[in-house]
Amino acid sequence: MTDEITSWLRQQLENQRHTAHALKTLAMAESPETAAILRRTSDQLQADADAKARLLTGIHGPSDRLVDGTPECKGCRDLWPCTTVLYLAQPFANQLGYRSEWLP
């Protein structure tokens, strides 16, 4: 489960980046008002995906320290996957591959 949630969540974030790019492409064919909304939404999706990816890479992740055979999170010392990562994954709960045990 340790590597699975991280890999799965990274794929969801990559999908979110693709959606952001698609919105910017779509904006080119829309009215100025609609285009502005699509570009702003695209920027927000991209920034959101980037921030979540930074949390996974730089702060939260499984450490080498085990508690009863389960790794701790290197960022918060909760058992892995930590509550923060479970909350990061929750908005994608309707996507293929999400597991019920990942509910926070």
Q: Residue 99 and residue 86: Cα distance in Å, rounded?
A: 11
Both structure tokens of 85: 């990562």
Look at residue 49 and give its three-state secondary structure: helix
What total number of domains does the chain contain? Answer: 1
Beta partners for residue 67, in sequence order: 70
Both structure tokens of 59: 């702060």
Taking only the tens place, the pLDDT of each residue in 77-104 is 999 999 999 999 999 999 999 999 999 9
Q: Residue 30 and residue 12: Cα distance in Å, rounded?
A: 27
Look at residue 47 and give its three-state secondary structure: helix
pTM of the shown model:
0.90
Neighbours of 82 (CB within 10 A): 22
**Parent domain of 17:** 2-102
Given its phi and psi angles, is residue 46 left (phi above 0), alpha (psi -120 to 50 degrees) or beta?
A: alpha
pLDDT(2) > 60: no
Taking only the tens place, the pLDDT of each residue in 9-19 is 999 999 999 99
Taking only the tens place, the pLDDT of each residue in 13-45 is 999 999 999 999 999 999 999 999 999 999 999
